[in-house]
């Protein structure tokens, strides 16, 4: 944002918008490359939070673009580069560390401990530079973690038992505008869980998932974190938003069975607008 602001002589908010929109376009192109046109289409119209935060200006689209770029590098077996980009994603949002862990583990499995050590060193170097910058400027190398701990987890741990934070938030109706929006948010949780069950129980879906083992490893680890996320006021509210980095992977596992009609895509796009409209009221 700072670079774009200075390069284009615009203020920080305008630069944030530019970065967010261009990152969204890049993420869409990467989704097309990784998982095909229909997955990229569904990804762009299915989750209303993607349109919301891509247009409003936020870190989401940049984080998603970096995650997809890392996965593309891993597809080409360039694991050191993938880990470098994964570390950059972690700087944008700490959840990127889950991808770094999977990348290091997969490199160890495929290429042995020497290459795994290299990928780990690359990621550690990037994250070390960031932690050092935080220590110098703010006096705390883990300032991002501590901010989340204070605001989201109320001093506790970032994880708890599955659904322990999600269900109470649904019952209380916290952080939602009305019941329709609340049920929409719960829909994404239920759909997420059903797709995970499909991967585990339906052989055709499981075979597709296993054909890209690294992406499936990341998707499952990331999914587990979302379901045990220990935020009493955010676990449900931002589930759909946090789901974005793995949503195309989930869609790809069932891509042969997705309806491939423009009328359905258009209907979904129109329906997606309702949570956005109701949320603003």
Q: In the prediction, which pLDDT does 245 show?
A: 96
pTM strictly above 0.85: yes
Structure tokens at 137: 């400027």
Please, are residues 43 and 248 in contact by the beta-carbon 8 Å criterion?
A: yes
Bigger pLDDT: 156 or 100?
Answer: 100
pLDDT digits (tens, 9 = 90+) for 44-60: 988 878 888 888 778 89
Q: In the prediction, which pLDDT does 173 show?
A: 63
DSSP string, 18-36: HHHHHHHHHHHHHHHHHH-
Reply yes or no on whether the pLDDT at 281 is more than 60. Answer: no
pLDDT digits (tens, 9 = 90+) for 58-72: 889 999 999 999 999
pLDDT digits (tens, 9 = 90+) for 191-248: 999 999 999 999 999 999 999 999 999 999 999 999 999 988 788 888 989 999 999 9
pLDDT digits (tens, 9 = 90+) for 73-97: 999 999 999 999 999 999 999 999 9
Over residues 235-262, the mean pLDDT reads 93
Over residues 5-11, the mean pLDDT reads 92
Reply yes or no on whether the pLDDT at 275 is more than 70. Answer: no
Q: In the prediction, which pLDDT does 221 show?
A: 97
Q: In the prediction, which pLDDT does 56 show?
A: 79
pLDDT digits (tens, 9 = 90+) for 29-44: 999 999 999 999 999 9
Bigger pLDDT: 146 or 276?
Answer: 146
Q: In the prediction, which pLDDT does 277 show?
A: 62
Q: In the prediction, which pLDDT does 177 show?
A: 56
**182 falls in which pLDDT band (50, 70, 90)?**
confident
Please, are residues 152 and 234 in contact by the beta-carbon 8 Å criterion?
A: yes
DSSP string, the chain: -HHHHHHHT--HHHHHHHHHHHHHHHHHHHHHHHH-HHHHHHHHHH-HHHHHHHHH--SHHHHHHHHHHHHHHHHTT-HHHHHHHHHHHHHH-GGGHHHHHHHHHHHHHHHHHHHHHHHHHHHHHHHHHHHHHHHHHHS-TTHHHHHHHHHTSTTS-SB-STTTTHHHHHHHTTT-SSHHHHHHHHHHHHHHHHHHHHHHH-HHHHHHHHTTHHHHHHHHHHHHHHHHB--TTTTTTTHHHHTGGGHHHHHHHTGGGS---HHHHHHHHHHHHHHHHHHT-
Over residues 126-132, the mean pLDDT reads 93
* Residue 133 falls in which region: left (phi positive, over 0), alpha (psi -120 to 50) or beta: alpha
Partners of residue 159 on adjacent β-strands: 229
Cα dihedral 90, 145, 224, 19, rounded to 10, equals -40
Over residues 126-140, the mean pLDDT reads 92
CA nearest 31: which of 53, 16, 46?
Answer: 46
What Rg, from alpha-carbon coordinates, does the chain have? Answer: 19
CA nearest 275: which of 150, 185, 154?
Answer: 185
What is d(CA 63, CA 37) in angstroms, rounded to the nearest whole number? 21
């Amino acid at each position: 944002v700072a670079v774009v602001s200075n390069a284009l002589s615009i203020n920080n908010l305008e630069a944030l918008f530019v970065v967010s929109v261009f990152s969204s376009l890049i993420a869409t192109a990467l989704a097309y490359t990784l998982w095909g046109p229909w997955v990229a289409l569904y990804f762009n119209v299915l989750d209303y939070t993607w349109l919301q935060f891509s247009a409003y200006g936020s870190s989401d689209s940049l984080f998603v673009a970096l995650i997809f770029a890392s996965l593309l590098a891993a597809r080409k077996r360039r694991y050191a580069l993938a880990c470098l980009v994964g570390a950059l994603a972690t700087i944008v949002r700490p959840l990127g560390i889950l991808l770094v862990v999977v990348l290091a583990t997969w490199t160890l499995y495929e290429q042995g401990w020497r290459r795994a050590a290299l990928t780990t060193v690359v990621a550690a170097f990037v994250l070390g530079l960031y932690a050092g910058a935080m220590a110098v400027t703010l006096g705390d190398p883990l300032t991002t973690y501590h901010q989340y701990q204070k605001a989201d987890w109320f001093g506790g741990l970032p994880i708890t038992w599955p659904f322990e934070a999600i269900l109470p938030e649904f019952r209380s109706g916290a952080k939602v505008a009305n019941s329709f929006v609340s049920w929409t948010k719960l829909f994404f949780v239920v759909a997420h869980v059903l797709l995970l069950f499909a991967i585990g129980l339906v052989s055709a879906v499981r075979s597709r998932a296993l054909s890209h083992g690294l992406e499936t490893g990341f998707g499952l680890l990331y999914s587990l974190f979302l379901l045990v996320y220990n935020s009493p006021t955010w676990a449900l509210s931002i589930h759909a938003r946090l789901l974005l980095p793995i949503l195309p992977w989930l869609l790809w596992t069932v891509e042969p069975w997705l309806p491939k009609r423009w009328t359905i895509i258009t209907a979904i796009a129109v329906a997606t607008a309702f949570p956005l409209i109701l949320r603003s009221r």
